[in-house]
Structure 1
Amino acid sequence: MRVSEAMTRNVSIASPDHTIQEAARMMADIDAGVLPVGDNDRLVGMITDRDIAVRAVAAGQGPAARVGDVMTRDICYCFEDEDLDDVAHNLGEQQIRRIPVVDRNKRLVGILSLGDVAMMQQGPAGEALAGISRRGGMHTQTGNHSRAGNA
């Protein structure tokens, strides 16, 4: 199976010129903690909620700080036509939860998450990871959740 068969194609992309507040709002809107950063149709970095917290807020920068100043520039990516099992193995080896997917012209075409990989796997481990990776739930990025059971 190829990466293109498992990846998420509809990806929100931040610009290096966006503020970290704009990036944080985009993350909240899609209930995710990471966004690819693109400039002129090219992948130039990744911005995570951790980048915002550690590289910006902890360093005294405010919401007007630019994504390009705090994003991770040294990023891993994979190609859409690569074998999914090979990429999944590499994700595990490098302890990466999400990876941008590019075409052979290095244009961003999607993102692959552990949840995407899990949806393609059979068995209890794949089902558990797929459930954990599902949007929403108790640990949603936006804080909008409901608790089941006793509190």
Structure 2
Amino acid sequence: MKISERMTPNPQTVAPDDSVRRAAELMDQFNVGALPVCDDGRLVGIVTDRDITVRATALGSPPDSTNVSEVMTEPACSISPDSVVADAEQMMGAAQIRRVPVVDDAKHVVGMLSLGDLAVAREQGVAATLEAVSQPSSMD
């Protein structure tokens, strides 16, 4: 099964110079935990609710004057809509991520794929992917 069949199309995005507050407001409005960060329509990173909590709030960064680019994860893992679900499961498990932007050949975001999208489809690899994503990271 292809990623294009499981992804959420046309996700909300933010720009690198958007404020952390704006990103948090969009996450709340759209009930999502991650937003692709795009510059001129191309993926440059991803900002998650955890990035906002750990990289911004815990450090005392003011949400109105802290840019998304200061707290986003870069580079962001991404996947093609033509890839198969097993590729996404492997990538998500190896990188310990729960969400991955789906990009076309020009790196334009065309969708988002979450572990939940895979679970709803009851894909076979979801249990193994969830286990891999949930493992503690090594502190090398």
TM range (shorter): 0.7 to 0.9
Q: Any idea what the Cα deviations from partners look like across 1:94-134, whole Å, max 9, x if unmatched?
A: 221000000122211000001111222268x78xx9xxxxx
The 5-angstrom pairing of residues 2-151 of structure 1 reads 2-64=2-64, 65-121=66-122
Aligned Cα RMSD in Å?
Answer: 1.8
Moved over 4 A (4+): none
Structure 2 gaps of 5+ residues are 131-140
- Normalised by the length of structure 1, the TM-score is 0.76
Q: CA deviation at 1:60?
A: 1.9
CA deviations 1:67-119 (Å, max 9, x no partner) are 11111112111111011122212212322100000012221100000111122
For each residue in 1:43-69, what CA deviation from the matched residue of structure 2 results, as whole angstroms up to 9, or x when unmatched? 011111111122112222111211111
Q: How many residues align?
A: 126
Checking the alignment, whether the CA contact within 8 Å between 2:42 and 2:109 is kept in structure 1 is: yes
TM-score (ref. length: structure 2): 0.82
Stretches of structure 1 lacking an aligned partner (at least 5 in a row): 130-151
Larger radius of gyration: 1
